[in-house]
Chain A
Amino acid sequence: MNVQAKHSSGAATAEEAIALQEALPPLTNEDATAVAMQNTLLTPRFYTTDFDEMDKIDVTPVREDWDKLIAQMVSDPNKGHFKKNADWDEVDWDGMEPKLKREFIDFLISSCTAEFSGCVLYKEMKRRGSNPDITQLFQLMARDEARHAGFINDALREAGIAVNLGFLTQSKKYTYFRPKFIYYATYLSEKIGYARYITIFRHLEKHPEHRFHPIFKWFEEWCNDEFSHGEAFALLLKTDPKLTQSFSNKLWIKFFLTAVYSTMYVRDHQRPEFHKALGVDPDWYAHEVFTKTSVLTGQIYPLMLDIEHPRWQKNLERMQVANVQIANAKKAGGIGGFIGKTLGSAKAAFAFVSLYTIPAIKHDVPQETLMKPAY
């Protein structure tokens, strides 16, 4: 369903690839319909926060590490990476099994939305903050996220999916994120993102026959960006020991870990064909990613979730079942659907509480915070 005669994936150099794309005829809404491109509206959230509080962050206690990290990000080691070269093989979208294609496209769209939302959030921080250390960091991270989003967008275009950025002319509500929750949530999303990408990358290195799309070849450098974003948040968290050491904040950290891990589990289990094609068992994958993320977040979080606890796997599975029930009830609609949804939500909440109350493993945070991507 490709519109272009010669796609940039066939280009030998990055410059040629970009030139080829720019030479494409402008794609208006009508054209898009005419060539039967599927249109998917990106629906990012918009955030606001307490910008004054954020401006008060003082990176002096971590200055040496901070400057090192920022210098590395400024040097932009991955600048030349997100370009299609000869490694970008032709993808047989039409020959792809429809269920796999659907799940894979869903994967690309949610990845693109996540990168895009990250970019919107970081850019907003950059624009409304006035602390030069902080605004510089957010500017650099926004740059990376926009680049990743552009790269995924291109893969989607190849599949005949046009991303619609027209959402700005629809009413958008701004939600609110307390600064410390931005740190906990984004830190974790960057680190788990790294763990997820690198686990797939290493698996496909060993089993190249399962690499059904070239985008996976880019995962290594890609996740190094995620890794360094995570490092920056680890340093931000270190500037104020209360953020990771006070009793209530430890509860919040545990909450974020539990919420992120269990969401990932449920979500991945909704893509059975995608994982089958990769030759990955989603239970094995979840365990691998959780193990890596626990080790990584040990750089700053004083606790780890006990994923070997007998209640862990059992309640993840319960949550997954509850989630299927909610989805089916939503589809069914009516009073029966409402009851099913309520029951499913209650089950999911119960499973979540069971997971959250598993005693965490306490550990001492190392003096040295910065790590190297070693997986």
Chain B
Amino acid sequence: MGLLTRTKEEVPCVVTISHRFEELSAHVKFTDGSVVGPGDSVLVHGAEIMAAFGEMVEEERMATITRASTVERMWTRATGDFEFMELCEFSFSDEVMA
């Protein structure tokens, strides 16, 4: 991890998407034990994973973790706290209705 440079890692992961009446959730688990830190970005490779309603889909994929630079990491640590509002049901949603 450089002061200003980012590094990339390719890691295997399992994506689980539950699109069911009793559970709506989506998670990514890195199977090699990689962990994500503040400011890192994760991109799961391949096509969009769609679960039809009533389904739970689990797929093994590769993902790229882009490690934040030291500066970014510090910045995220210092400012990330202000995004907490999203947990409130009345938070501002910025989803786009297509």
| Contact call B90/A175, Cβ cutoff below 8 A | no
> How distant is the Cα of A120 from the Cα of B44 in the complex, in angstroms?
16
| Contact call B90/A174, Cβ cutoff below 8 A | no
| Contact call A147/B23, Cβ cutoff below 8 A | yes
| Residues in B whose Cβ lies below 8 Å from that of A103 | none
| Contact call B42/A24, Cβ cutoff below 8 A | no
| Contact call A168/B86, Cβ cutoff below 8 A | no
| Contact call A48/B87, Cβ cutoff below 8 A | no
**Quick one: which of A109, A149, A153, A259 contacts B93, CB cutoff 8 A?**
A109
Taking the complex as formed, is B9 at the interface, i.e. its CB lies under 8 A from any CB of chain A? no
Taking the complex as formed, is A263 at the interface, i.e. its CB lies under 8 A from any CB of chain B? yes
Please judge, given known A-B contacts A17-B21, A120-B25, A185-B84, whether A264 and B55 are in contact too, CB under 8 Å. no
For chain A residues 17-48, which have a beta carbon within 8 Å of chain B?
17-18, 21-29, 38-48
**Quick one: which of A114, A147, A169 contacts B87, CB cutoff 8 A?**
A114
> How distant is the Cα of A177 from the Cα of B39 in the complex, in angstroms?
11
| Contact call B40/A43, Cβ cutoff below 8 A | no
| Contact call B89/A114, Cβ cutoff below 8 A | yes
| Residues in B whose Cβ lies below 8 Å from that of A123 | 25, 27
**Quick one: which of B21, B24, B90, B96 contacts A110, CB cutoff 8 A?**
B90
Taking the complex as formed, is A138 at the interface, i.e. its CB lies under 8 A from any CB of chain B? no
B13 to chain A, nearest CB (A): 10
**Quick one: which of A153, A157, A173 contacts B39, CB cutoff 8 A?**
A173
B12 to chain A, nearest CB (A): 15
B77-89 vs A: 1/0 string, CB under 8 Å? Answer: 1001101111111
| Contact call B76/A22, Cβ cutoff below 8 A | no
Taking the complex as formed, is A355 at the interface, i.e. its CB lies under 8 A from any CB of chain B? no
A–B pairs, 23, beta carbons within 8 Å: A22-B54, A24-B54, A26-B55, A38-B98, A43-B93, A110-B93, A113-B93, A119-B25, A120-B25, A123-B25, A142-B25, A146-B23, A147-B22, A150-B21, A164-B50, A168-B49, A170-B43, A173-B39, A174-B41, A174-B42, A175-B76, A267-B91, A267-B92
| Contact call A24/B90, Cβ cutoff below 8 A | no
> How distant is the Cα of A104 from the Cα of B59 in the complex, in angstroms?
34
Taking the complex as formed, is A230 at the interface, i.e. its CB lies under 8 A from any CB of chain B? no
A248 to chain B, nearest CB (A): 14
Taking the complex as formed, is A351 at the interface, i.e. its CB lies under 8 A from any CB of chain B? no
Taking the complex as formed, is A196 at the interface, i.e. its CB lies under 8 A from any CB of chain B? yes
